[in-house]
Amino acid sequence: MHLLASQIAAATGGTLHGPDVQVDSAGIDSRAVRPGELFVPIVAARDGHDFIPAAVAAGAAAYLTDRAPDPAVPASAVQVPDTFHALADLGREARRRLLDRVVGVTGSVGKTSTKDLLAGVLATTYRTAASEKSFNNELGLPLTLLGAPDDTEAVVLEMGARGVGHIALLCEIASPTVGVLTRVEGVHLEMFGSLADVAQAKGELVESLPKDGLAILNADHEIVAAMDSRTQARVLTYGLNAGADVRAENVVLDDQLRASFDLVTPWGATPVVLAARGEHQVPNALAAAAAGGGLGVPVEAIAAGLYDARLSGLRMELSTTDAGVVVINDAYNANPTSMGAALGSLARLEARRRFAVLGTMAELGEDGPAAHRGVVEQARELGITVIAVAEPDYGAGVVHVDDVDGAVAALTDLAGGALSEGDAVLVKGSRVAALERVAQALF
């Protein structure tokens, strides 16, 4: 989005120093600044002000600062009381310039995949912008709004939370007109405290919607379905439930874990094939279909958009090594629900031996040990051998290793010298485990 430095100063209550240059979007990482951007230095573990010269050298047209600008830095500056709050103010200004097709997506699991699928659906009909990767917090959301081109007709925003009130803040910045709720699960309990707190936080999205807005709720998930009482907006439901407004019938999974089904909606029915892998992507696709249809996307275009949509990286990436080993790289994140879905997908692959290299499921609080043992029990029932990387909570009955090299060595030993055709390996863990390195090593 194009803004003049004077407009940035007006939106943030700041003072412009230097020429009234035009900027295009914004960034907070000096290493990733693109020419013409506004650099926003954030004070966190490191002070972003220290990197203003590097950002300008990389091409930043202007920068924010909460202190006196350095005359030696050859770029316009907007001096503000606080750069963090100024970024939020700029997000509000960017939202004010957009049309009212702004969709917020939240939930304990599935929100990034749903965001990606919905962006694919909307892009068939509207010029669409969407959050990159998992840009879903007080920094990523305004950056997404500022990064939307001036001619954007629809925006999809992922919304995450670390506690009650966080999504309400994001909604105050973004003013969504459509809200999509996936599931509410007992994840991040270390931060939230209880499942009730998770539900309270996620429901802030539908509470923020205007009367002429649209809430998309999961009919298969009781906690989410009950949120129809928390919104003044019109409600559309989705799911495998026969009573859902948007539902899937005759779901079939192929040998590459891609689902096909008959999509049934208030606007008509059509066959759908997903490129995204895993049966657990069907509800995410239905959520995207409901939001897209509610925003006027024709049902045939919904099907085309779901097929063409591509998920963010490290999510159910299925590849085969030169030796014929099938590898599922689902290493972006993990919680008990997504872990169960991934193990179920591994079990559905045609294979003579199945291995799961699993890292920690973080932020589960006091439920962590039991949750990890529950994953092992599920794997045992599915005939999957578990290799646990640096996570003792998986307990007995698994192979414990300390690091990536240990995981690869354990796989080799369990395979009798080398993995080969007929073997399938799932790699999954929370982001802190960075287990995509195991998948990379297998190739």
Binding-site residue set for ATP: 107-113
- Angle, vertex CA 437, rays to CA 378 and CA 324, nearest 5: 70
Of 382, 374, 335, residue with least CA distance to 355: 382
How many angstroms separate the CA atoms of 342 and 425, rounded? 11
Tell me, rounded to whole angstroms, the distance of Cα 263 from its chain centroid. 24
| Of 391, 356, 185, 156, nearest in space to 280 by CA | 185
Tell me, what DSSP letter sits at residue 398?
A: S
Identify the three-state secondary structure at position 332: coil
Which residues contact residue 413 at a Cβ distance below 8 angstroms, ignoring those fewer than 6 apart? Answer: none
329 DSSP β-pair partners: 317, 427
Q: Which parts are annotated binding residues?
A: 107-113
Backbone angles phi, psi at 33, to 5 degrees: -65, 135
How far, CA to CA in Å, does 379 sit from each of 24, 117, 138, 328, 355?
A: 49, 29, 37, 15, 9
Are the beta carbons of 92 and 31 closer than 8 angstroms? no
- Answer whether 398's CB lies under 8 Å from 387's CB: yes
- Which secondary-structure segment (H or E) carries 46? none
